[in-house]
Structure 1
Amino acid sequence: MVPTVIEKTGRGERVYDIYSRLLKDRIVFLGGAVTDETANLIVAQLLFLSNEDPNNDIHFYINSPGGSVTAGMGVYDTMQFIRPKVQTYCIGLAASMGSVLFMAGEKGMRHMLPNSRVLLHQPLLGGVSEGQATDLSIQAAEMLKTRERLYKVMGDHTGQDYDTISRDCERDKWLDAEAAVEYGCADDVLKHLPMDD
C-alpha cells in the first residue's frame, strides 16, 4: 500500500501518492532491489525532471540491496546523461549495484546518513547454471567484461585505482558512513537536511 498526502492549494485540496509528491520536489527514491521495473521508473523520473528544469538539482535517495547490473547501468547512464546535477543520499544501505548508483552522484553531493552503510563486491552471476559448454563460456566471458566495466566506473567515482577496487571487491567490503567518505564513495555525512538558502 502506498501512502497518500493531502496538499492544500488555492483551489482546494489535492491528493498525491507519496512518491508523486516527492517527485514534485525533485526527489527520486530507490527503496528496494534494482530490477528492470524499478530502473525503468527511475529512468523515467530522471528524464522527466531533466526536461522539466535542466538547471535544478535532482535528489536521489537510495536504500537498496542492489540487484540487476544491466538495469542499474541503465539508471547510471541516465544519471550521467541528463543535465541536472544528481545529488545522492544513502539512507540505510547502498549495496552492490545500489552502491554504484550512490557513488555516481555529482561529486561533492554524495551524502551518507550517519547510520548508513555501503557494500562493495564483485557482480554476481545469476541465472546460468546449465547449458552447452560454449554458451557457458560466452556467459563467463561477458561476466568478466561486466566486472571490469563496473570496477572502472567505481574507480572513476571513488578515485581508487583498478587494482584496489578489484582487491577490495574480491569479498564483501562493508563501509560505514565515515569509511565511505574516506574511501571516496561519499563526500560527507549528514545529520540533518541542509536548510534552503
Structure 2
Amino acid sequence: MPEHEEELPDILEELKNYNAISRKFLEQRKIFLWGAVMDESAKEIVNKLLYLEMIAPGKEITFYINSPGGVITSGMTIFDTMNMITSPVITVCMGLAASMGSVLLAAGEKGKRHIWPHGKVMIHQPSIGGQIVAPASDIKIHADEIQKTKKMLNKILADACGKDVATLEKDTDRDYYMTAEEAIKYGIVDKISTVV
C-alpha cells in the first residue's frame, strides 16, 4: 500500500506538466492531431481552431499531423473549419498523414504545407468499415453515398495539389504512398521542414 501512495504524486505531477505543455503549445498557436481522426479529436481541434481565431483573427496557426486517417465526417469538420477561419493554417506532417490525414495536410495554406524529412503521405479511396447488416436497397444507398464521398475527396485533393480529378481517381484507386520528396512533387505539400 505505501508504494501506491508514493506513486500518486508522480502521476499528478505528470498530468500537471502535460497540461502546462498543452497550454504552452496553444499560446504559440500550435495544435496537434495524434492518431485517428475521430469525433473526439475533431472536437478538440475545431475548438482550438475557433478559440485561436477568436483571440487573434488572421494570425497563423500551425497544425501538426501524425495520423492514419479516420472518420470522414469528423475530418471534414476540421477541413471546413480550417477553410472558414481567417487565420492561415500552416500544416506539418510529422510521421504519417494518411487517408483523411492527407486531406487535412493538403488543406493547409498553399506555400506553407510542410513535411518532416522522413514523413510519409498516403492517399486512397474512402471505405466503409465494419459489417453492414441491411437490406440490399440500403446497401445500395451506402454504396452510392461512398461514391459521392469519393468524388468529393478526389476533387478536394485535385484542387489542393493542382492536378486534374482523373489523375486523383487513378491514384486513389489503391493505397498510394509517398515519401517527403514525392509528396512535394505530387503537390500535397510545399516543402520539407527541418525545424520545429
TM-score by length of 1: 0.89
Q: Find the residue that maps to 2:141 and give its secondary structure.
A: helix
The Cα RMSD (Å) is 1.5
Paired position in structure 1 for 2:31 = 28
**Do the aligned partners of residues 108 and 3 (structure 1) sit closer, same or farther apart at CA in structure 2, a change above 3 Å counting?**
farther
Paired position in structure 2 for 1:9 = none
Partners of 1:144 and 1:18 in 2: how far apart?
Answer: 42
**Structure with greater proportional helix content:** 2
Q: Which runs of 5+ in 2 are unaligned?
A: 1-10
Question: Are 1:122 and 2:135 matched, yes or no?
Answer: no
Q: Which runs of 5+ in 1 are unaligned?
A: 6-14
- 1:74-108 Cα distance to aligned partner (Å, 9 max, x none): 00000000000000000000000000000100000
Q: Percent sequence identity over matched residues?
A: 45
1:3 CA displacement: 5.3
Paired position in structure 2 for 1:112 = 115
TM-score by length of 2: 0.90
Paired position in structure 2 for 1:182 = 185
1:129 CA displacement: 2.3
Question: Are 1:143 and 2:125 matched, yes or no?
Answer: no
Partners of 1:180 and 1:145 in 2: how far apart?
Answer: 25
Please give the residue correspondences for 1:71-82 in structure 2 after superposition, counting only pairs within 5 Å. Answer: 71-82=74-85
Residue among 43, 48, 62 paired with 1:45: 48
**Structure with greater proportional strand content:** 1
Residues 118 and 175 in structure 1, CA contact (< 8 A), matched pair in contact too: yes
Larger radius of gyration: 2
AA aligned to 2:143 is A
1:21 CA displacement: 1.9
Q: Find the residue that maps to 1:181 and give its secondary structure.
A: helix
